[in-house]
Amino acid sequence: MSDAVAHAAIERIFREEYGRVVASLVRRFGDIDVAEEAAGEALLVALERWPVDGTPPNPGGWLTTTAARKGIDRIRREQQRDAKHQASLMLNSNFWGDDTPHEPTGVVDDDRLRLVFTCCHPALAPEARVALTLRLLGGLTVAEIAQAFLVPETTMAQRITRAKAKIKAANIPYRVPDEADLQERVAAVMAVIYLVFNEGYLSSSAEHSVREELTAEAIRLGRVLRSLLPDVPEVAGLLALMLLTESRRTSRFADGELVPLPDQDRGGWDRALIAEGHALVRECLAIGRAGHYQLLAAINAVHTDAPTLAATDWEQVAALYDQLYAVTPSPIVALNRAVAIAELDGPEVALAEVDRLPELQPGLTSYHAWHVTRAELLRRLGRSAEARAAYDAAIAATDNAAERAYLTRRRNQLAG
């Protein structure tokens, strides 16, 4: 194996393990900067040793242990090392074999979920919460996060730096809140977990069509959150939504192209995930307090329940989107509802609705899904020249290579 191939394999492992390593180090040191720097130093050691010694049986454990030692070394080197070293020894007592208990870290023993709650503290701006979680938990680079947010890399770097400084200055604790504060904070945590899932599933990176480590981590956190809050329907709805979406993942791409829902091989969908997701949706519906995630999960349940596209209950899909719009009145929800309307009332009616949406949100015209929807409706109406222009706009608005390939083929198939 060449050095380049070996290094690429090590960097892939590091990226997959990054959230676990950093979360463990934040618990031990109580300092995000120390945790990130120590994790980076552990990667350098791995790049040096693993090609010679071989990949250890437990790469994540090796990286965590090596990074913890690097963190201790850094604290010892600092000018005020006496006070910081003693604090470190207290936080790291179990690491050194001392049975002195740690500071309380909350009601659930999961380092990464505690890190999400830290990143989602109310003192931080909403956009900073998502960016910091993607950086610390997902291991995304600042450039990748900036691309997902459509902002310059320098802007995103400043946003993340300010968020970490705010955590340190405000002494924001690394813990899951007590029951009294948990309900207030859980909405922000659910939003970030779902955004982490979507960043993996709908990766904006041209290099990665799906980031499986992100979708898997989001689902894992959703399961932990549900075990923590079993009586909160929206938590169950979020988990159901991610499971039902993930069930279709292996059918979403073929030969380097995106495969949209109507064209997917339904025999390739993961029936175990679908069954689990459907059970959660039924549980939510029985409670009768449908929220945003529950309604999205119910829509996905209708799609995954249909053995063929023709068997889809489009009336139910449209009705669920009506309920969702009442809860979350956004043009994106209206855009998705128009797809169902096209099946019920025809593409001309749906196109009229889609063309009115920019009046509600002018920036929608830069959203690639709006152009894709218009292109497909115009195609069905036989308006090829307009459809071609809409496909061109959609292609220009996405960096995902698989989606660009699909849209290019659809455009090139138009008559005329």
Number of continuous H segments (helices) and E segments (strands) in the chain: 19, 2
Residue 379 lies in a domain: yes
Q: Which of 31, 57, 91 is the last residue of a domain?
A: 91
Residue 368: which domain range?
338-416
| Residue 166 resides in a domain | no
Task: Tell me the pLDDT tens digit for each residue of 302-312.
Answer: 999 999 999 99
Domain count, the chain: 2
Q: Is 236 exposed, middle or buried, given 0-12, 13-18 or 19+ CB atoms closer than 10 A?
A: buried
- Choice between 405 and 207, residue whose per-residue pLDDT is larger: 405
Does the residue 28 lie in any domain?
yes
Residue 216 counted as domain residue? no
* Global model pTM greater than 0.85: no
For residue range 376-390, list pLDDT tens digits in order. 999 999 999 999 999
Nearest alpha-carbon partner for 222 in 238, 210, 200: 238
CATH number of the domain that 386 lies in? 1.25.40
The CA angle 120-125-130, to the nearest 5 degrees, is 50
Among left, alpha and beta (phi > 0; psi -120 to 50; other), residue 299 is alpha
Residue 407 located in a structural domain = yes
Lowest mean pLDDT among 113-127, 249-263, 394-408: 113-127
In order of 148, 174, 354, 375, the CA distances from 283 in angstroms are: 34, 32, 33, 38
Please say which residue of 91, 119, 142 terminates a domain: 91
- Say if 342 falls within a structural domain: yes
- In this prediction, residues 4-21 reach a mean pLDDT of 80
Is the model's pLDDT at 284 over the cut of 70? yes
Contact between 72 and 42 (Cβ < 8 Å):
no
Q: Is residue 86 part of a domain?
A: yes
Final residue in a domain of this structure, among 32, 56, 91: 91
- Asked whether residue 388 is assigned to any structural domain, the reply reads yes
Q: Give me the count of residues in the chain.
A: 416
